Amino acid sequence: AVCGGARPPSHSMTIRPEAVYRAALRMVQRDVVVVDRLGSPIVSGELRAYRVDGGSWGLGPTRAPVWNPLRVQMIFDVSGERHAGLVTVESEKINGFMSHKLVGVDVLNDKDERVVVKGDEASLAETKEHLRSIISFKKVSKTFKAMK
């Protein structure tokens, strides 16, 4: 009984990128506009990169201590019958529950369309650029290590 009581608090203090990925993929697969642009069925590819942060105390704008919730920023590729796409996700864990703040798809076609499933266009652009810079840095780092 004592061990069972310890599970919920530890579960609420962690965030699993795999769970965020599965939930975001389901949201993308069920969105009518995304299915219309990419074609059905929508399947995930091999690219997946994520960044986990938060879960600590920090100072707010008034210099008072504030809790920074656990956050996952993720990017992964999908493809459908007609086109491929790049999915950008930002999720937070607040009070033990997952909250998807942003889910968007960049359709890789001639028009370079962007479909916002959840959230807003400005947040999508900011998160996407941040994640792409991380991927570029890792690619350069890996190339540099291979040269040594």
Domain boundaries, the chain: 2-147
User: What's the pLDDT at 121?
Assistant: 85
User: What's the pLDDT at 67?
Assistant: 86
User: What's the pLDDT at 81?
Assistant: 96
The Cα–Cα gap between 127 and 102 comes to: 9
The Cα–Cα gap between 130 and 71 comes to: 14
User: What's the pLDDT at 100?
Assistant: 93
- Nearest alpha carbon to residue 90 among 109, 74, 69, 112: 74
User: What's the pLDDT at 10?
Assistant: 61
- Tens-of-pLDDT digits for all 148 residues of the chain? 455 555 555 666 788 999 999 999 999 999 999 999 999 999 999 989 899 988 888 888 999 998 888 999 999 999 999 999 999 999 999 888 889 999 999 999 888 889 999 988 888 888 878 777 777 655 555 554 554 5
User: What's the pLDDT at 144?
Assistant: 46
User: What's the pLDDT at 54?
Assistant: 87
User: What's the pLDDT at 56?
Assistant: 86
| CATH of 2-147 given 3.30.1480, 3.30.1490, 3.10.450, 1.25.40 | 3.10.450
Count of C-beta atoms within a 10 Å radius of residue 80 = 20
In terms of pTM, does the model score above 0.75?
yes
Whole-number Cα distances in Å, 65 to 15, 56, 58, 114? 22, 10, 6, 37
